[in-house]
């Protein structure tokens, strides 16, 4: 990884397993709708089997930051990824998937311990995602997996808040931030999840204050971070804590805080919502790719909005536009 | 069409019929590789039958400007289209296709005369498109089809050079430009095709000089327009003739001329080239959508580049990203 790259993502390396389900499936299996629940290996295998019984679940090399990094690569921007899989078939497919998407990936796999992580994503008819995550090998990610030359080769590093759920990974994360800062690089962070923010509020605040240049969060995560139910109050606090903050607000679009300015960005499409999985990840991809290409923050936000709009129009966390019925039979 | 729209396209309303073919198919059927040939109804029906014999050709409500306008709509920008179909099944499907894509479309169909136009697009394994166009009803487009209130409701009108192939349509086209200019709107034009430029060089030059604010052309069209083989000489001539010019250069990316400035935009992806059909159309879609959203020309060019990169990665002239093998079997 000696050649220059633009954005390097660091996150939980997780194979996404995605299935459409009924609301009854959620209650029958005690799955919390719309949330992200950590599960153990036995539960992961059980849900995976149930997904297979329903039909053919999709398997995509994922994890939040990996999805963002693949999106960035698809926008023509040089990208790399750092995250831990096991030395098993799923881990090999994860590595192959990233490489096929044009992402540089060279983290050494874990040997002889936990299996590669997987996230079982149940998507209900209303488009909401309910995630059940077995962290497996991904959380054996440790400071030793952070290679100084890899970090220094990147213009921007992009950190996934989910990593804060484990102490060694958190230390790896801080190490990467410090290397990037010392080299004059840009540090960006996504808060990842409402419950993740709740579990690590003070650590996040400290990181944002001391290390983060560009923050990504959705409205709920932001309100949780500052323990308020007032959006304006949260924005006011945010202005003091970081230079650039990109806050997504579902159907209200997003805002980007740039010093004293606030750029308001509307939702970029009237497309139907099929599956909101990965909307935030692809929003971040568009914003970071646009920024790397020299766009101002308002324009980069619009590109983020386009990328988010595309991904919610179909199942799965990666770009895959459909033609929406415009292809019809070629005979009269 | 009383509500405001951002971009209104005017072009030949053509149903695209797209099929992968061998190089032998081109020579066996006297199809000029990489070109656009005008054909009559009998030839159109014959080629359509041969496409059906090969497999299942795709049928998409198209035409160059219509493809651009659909792309603009998919980027969340309010759009409308003006173009002539017949009152037949193909024409009805054309109208339904545009409406489904969120495009306002209200041109009255032609009654009791030629059939709806179709473009039979043969795509060889190298990704090159060879187009055979039966213009049918589309060229019965006349000044009466230009509705003043429709033109005045748009911020930008986007004109397809192909219309210059027929006199009544050309007059309709000039009428639209004059209405737009009188109302202080922006007029944009795509040169459409090398041979089209060759057929109508002086008319195009006059239009560009007197009416056009934003010109789209590829390198070959531009060289033909100014009858030179020197790109720099063509650019120099272009600077005198219009304010903004967006010139695509295949694998060299594109340049946008903005007064004395020249913005160089690289190709936005390393994706494989499957079918170059519609790359120019989607480049224009990205540029115009970005401009409407307030992007500077360099940023709008990058968005154009992204939209073009997406469309060449698969068959057909419309956005439809695939996951490129990242979805694998969900079992170990």
Mean pLDDT score of chain A, rounded to an integer? 87
Report whether A99 contacts A107 (CB < 8 A). no
Give the mutation candidate from B52, B278, B330 for the A interface (greatest A CB count, under 10 A).
B330
Residue B193 has pLDDT above 90, yes or no: no
Residues in B closer than 8 angstroms to A306, CB to CB, are 75-76, 303
Report whether A139 contacts A165 (CB < 8 A). yes
Assembly ipTM: 0.72
Using DSSP's 3-state secondary structure scheme, residue B294 falls into coil
Lowest-pLDDT choice from A56-70, A285-299, B39-53, B258-272: B258-272
Structure tokens at B181: 């200019």
CA distances from B52 to B46, B61, B288 (A): 10, 18, 36
Please name the member of B294, B296, B321 whose beta carbon is closest to the beta carbon of A321: B321
Please tell me the distance in Å from A298's CA to the nearest CA on chain B: 8
* % of chain A with per-residue pLDDT over 90: 60
What's residue B324's pLDDT? 25
Please tell me the distance in Å from B135's CA to the nearest CA on chain A: 17
CA distances from B98 to A37, A96, A151, B93, B190 (A): 42, 39, 47, 9, 20
Residue A298 has pLDDT above 90, yes or no: yes
Residue A329 has pLDDT above 50, yes or no: no
Please tell me the distance in Å from A58's CA to the nearest CA on chain B: 6
Please tell me the distance in Å from A201's CA to the nearest CA on chain B: 35
Give the total residue count for chain A: 332
Residues in A closer than 8 angstroms to B58, CB to CB, are 327, 330
Average pLDDT value for residue range A294-313: 88
Please tell me the distance in Å from B224's CA to the nearest CA on chain A: 31
What's residue A111's pLDDT? 86
Partners of A9 in the β-ladder? A81, A158
Q: Provide the sign of the torsion angle of the four alpha carbons A60, A65, A70, A74, taken in this order.
A: positive
φ, ψ for residue A178, nearest 5 deg: -65, -40
Average pLDDT value for residue range A72-95: 92
Of residues B283 and B312, more confidently modeled: B283
What's residue A310's pLDDT? 74
Residues in B closer than 8 angstroms to A321, CB to CB, are 74, 310, 319-321
Closest CA to B114 of B137, B133, B92, B94: B137
Closest residue in B to A16 (Cα) is B330
Inter-chain contact A299–B298, Cβ cutoff 8 Å? no
Confirm whether A43 is domain-assigned.
yes
Confirm whether A133 is domain-assigned.
yes
What's residue A264's pLDDT? 94
**Distance between CA atoms of residues B290 and A252, nearest Å:** 20
**Distance between CA atoms of residues B102 and B124, nearest Å:** 31
Confidence of residue B194 (pLDDT cuts 50, 70, 90): confident
CA distances from B69 to A4, A155, B267 (A): 37, 36, 22
Residues in B closer than 8 angstroms to A90, CB to CB, are 332
Please tell me the distance in Å from B94's CA to the nearest CA on chain A: 9
What's residue A326's pLDDT? 27
In our burial notation (b when 16+ CB lie closer than 10 A, e otherwise), range B281-307 reads bbbbbbbbbbbbbebbbbbbbbbbbbb
Inter-chain contact B325–A299, Cβ cutoff 8 Å? no
**Distance between CA atoms of residues A298 and A258, nearest Å:** 10
Maximum separation of any 2 CA atoms in chain A, in Å = 66
**Distance between CA atoms of residues B233 and B241, nearest Å:** 13
Average pLDDT value for residue range A306-328: 54
Q: Provide the sign of the torsion angle of the four alpha carbons B137, B139, B144, B150, taken in this order.
A: positive
Residues in A closer than 8 angstroms to B320, CB to CB, are 321-323
Confirm whether B253 is domain-assigned.
yes
**Distance between CA atoms of residues A280 and A196, nearest Å:** 15
Of residues A278 and A281, more confidently modeled: A281
Closest CA to B88 of B18, B46, B136, B34: B136
Residue A23 has pLDDT above 70, yes or no: yes
Confirm whether A66 is domain-assigned.
yes
Closest CA to B57 of B25, B15, B18: B18
Laid out side by side, the sheet with B214-218 consists of: B104-105, B79-82, B5-10, B154-160, B186-190, B214-218, B244-248, B254-258, B261-265
Inter-chain contact B294–A298, Cβ cutoff 8 Å? yes
Spatial neighbors of A173 by CB under 8 A, at least 6 apart, are A10, A159, A163, A164
Structure tokens at A157: 């590093």
Spatial neighbors of A99 by CB under 8 A, at least 6 apart, are A105
Confidence of residue B325 (pLDDT cuts 50, 70, 90): very low
Helices (H) and strands (E) in chain B, counts: 12, 15
pLDDT tens for each residue of B58-87: 888 888 999 999 999 988 899 999 999 999
Spatial neighbors of A6 by CB under 8 A, at least 6 apart, are A72, A77, A78, A79, A154, A155, A156, A292
What's residue A328's pLDDT? 29
Please name the member of B76, B319, B325 whose beta carbon is closest to the beta carbon of A100: B325
Lowest-pLDDT choice from A2-6, A150-154, A291-295: A2-6
Residues in A closer than 8 angstroms to B330, CB to CB, are 17, 48, 51-52, 56-59
Inter-chain contact A293–B270, Cβ cutoff 8 Å? no
Average pLDDT value for residue range A120-139: 89
pLDDT tens for each residue of A178-233: 999 999 999 999 998 888 898 899 989 999 999 999 999 999 999 999 999 999 99
pLDDT tens for each residue of B219-278: 999 999 999 999 999 999 999 998 999 999 988 889 999 988 999 998 876 456 665 667
* % of chain A with per-residue pLDDT over 70: 90
Inter-chain contact B323–A267, Cβ cutoff 8 Å? no
Residue B24 has pLDDT above 70, yes or no: yes
Mean pLDDT score of chain B, rounded to an integer? 87
Closest residue in B to A311 (Cα) is B321
Structurally, chain B folds into a number of domains equal to: 1
Residues in B closer than 8 angstroms to A319, CB to CB, are 321, 323
**Distance between CA atoms of residues A190 and A183, nearest Å:** 21
Q: Residue A219: give its domain's CATH number.
A: 3.40.1190.20
Confidence of residue A330 (pLDDT cuts 50, 70, 90): very low
pLDDT tens for each residue of B103-150: 999 899 998 788 899 999 998 888 788 989 998 999 888 999 999 999
Beta strand ranges found along A124-209 (DSSP E): 129-134, 154-160, 186-190
Place of tokens 């200019």: B181
Q: Which domain holds residue B170?
A: 5-12+63-114+138-311
Confirm whether A38 is domain-assigned.
yes
Partners of A257 in the β-ladder? A245, A262
Inter-chain contact A102–B270, Cβ cutoff 8 Å? yes
What's residue A59's pLDDT? 82
Of residues B105 and B166, more confidently modeled: B105
CB atoms within 10 A of CB B202: 7
Spatial neighbors of A309 by CB under 8 A, at least 6 apart, are A267, A268, A269, A271, B76
SS3 content of chain B, % helix, strand, coil (to 5): 45, 25, 35
Closest residue in B to A328 (Cα) is B59
Average pLDDT value for residue range A259-287: 81
Average pLDDT value for residue range B312-331: 42
Inter-chain contact A59–B332, Cβ cutoff 8 Å? no
Confirm whether B306 is domain-assigned.
yes
* Terminal CA-CA length for chain B: 55
Inter-chain contact B76–A306, Cβ cutoff 8 Å? yes
Residues in B closer than 8 angstroms to A76, CB to CB, are 266-270, 305-306, 309
Please name the member of A270, A293, A330 whose beta carbon is closest to the beta carbon of B102: A270
CA distances from B287 to A232, B180, B216, B308 (A): 34, 20, 10, 10
């Amino acid at each position: 990884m000696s050649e220059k790259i633009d954005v390097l993502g660091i996150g939980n390396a997780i194979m996404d397993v995605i299935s459409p389900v009924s609301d009854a499936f959620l209650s029958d299996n005690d799955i919390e709708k719309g949330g992200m629940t950590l599960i153990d290996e036995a539960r992961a295998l059980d849900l995976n089997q149930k997904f297979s019984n329903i039909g053919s679940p999709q398997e995509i090399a994922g994890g939040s930051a990996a999805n963002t990094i693949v999106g960035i690569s698809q926008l023509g921007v040089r990208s790399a990824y750092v995250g831990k899989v096991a030395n098993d078939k799923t881990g090999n497919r994860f590595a192959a998937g990233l490489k096929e998407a044009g992402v540089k990936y060279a983290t050494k796999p874990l040997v002889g311990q936990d299996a590669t992580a997987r996230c079982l994503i149940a998507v209900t008819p209303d488009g909401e995602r309910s995630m059940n995550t077995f962290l497996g090998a991904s959380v054996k990610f440790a400071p030793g997996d952070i290679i100084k030359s890899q970090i220094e080769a990147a213009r921007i590093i992009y950190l996934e808040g989910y990593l804060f759920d484990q102490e060694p990974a958190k230390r790896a994360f801080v190490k990467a931030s410090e290397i990037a800062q010392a080299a004059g690089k840009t540090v960006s962070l996504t808060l990842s999840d409402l419950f993740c923010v709740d579990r690590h509020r003070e650590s996040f605040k400290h990181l944002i204050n001391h290390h983060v240049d560009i923050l990504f969060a959705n409205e709920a995560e932001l309100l949780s971070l500052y323990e308020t139910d007032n959006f304006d109050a949260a924005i006011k606090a945010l202005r003091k804590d970081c230079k650039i903050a990109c806050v997504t607000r579902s159907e209200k679009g997003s805002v980007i805080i740039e010093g004293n300015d606030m750029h308001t960005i509307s939702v970029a499409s009237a497309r139907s919502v099929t599956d909101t999985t990965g909307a935030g990840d692809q929003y971040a991809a568009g914003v970071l790719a646009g920024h790397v290409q020299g766009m101002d923050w308002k324009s980069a936000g619009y590109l983020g909005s386009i990328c988010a709009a595309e991904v919610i129009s179909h199942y799965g966390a990666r770009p895959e536009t459909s033609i929406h019925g415009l292809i019809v039979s070629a005979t009269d």
